[in-house]
Amino acid sequence: GNSVTQMEGPVTLSEEAFLTINCTYTATGYPSLFWYVQYPGEGLQLLLKATKADDKGSNKGFEATYRKETTSFHLEKGSVQVSDSAVYFCALRGTGGYQKVTFGTGTKLQVIP
């Protein structure tokens, strides 16, 4: 079945540091890939997505590129802010009509001033 593996946290960075959170997946065909973010005390929010190979999803300075050859969808940001502190979840949705979303275990990011 489908699965998502993402790097374990917590990740602690200083403000303005470069961020990478690794995510790899296992799925048949060409799934859609997502990054969700959960800020403290809030619900899950879609951060960005990519629906086909080589697509780049981007939002709020975050980027992730759908790499079919390495089955990866790593999240990056060039300069993190304290307000980026949250838990980040990599997720995928399979192809063909209805498909449930499968999530990774989440990576907690803490950005310190």
Which parts of this chain interact with other proteins (CB under 8 A)? 4, 32, 36, 42-46, 49, 51, 89, 91, 93, 97-106
CB of 64 to other proteins, least distance (A): 16
- Least Å distance, CB 6 to other proteins, is 8
C-beta closer to other proteins: residue 77 or 104: 104
**Residue count (the chain):** 113
CA-closest candidate to residue 106, choices 59, 49, 44? 44
Cβ at position 80, least distance to other proteins in Å: 21
Q: Going by C-beta distance under 8 Å and a sequence separation of 6 or more, which residues neighbour residue 93?
A: 31, 32, 34, 99, 100, 101, 102
Return the number of the residue (40 or 113) whose C-beta is nearest other proteins: 40
Residue 68: CB atoms within 10 Å: 10
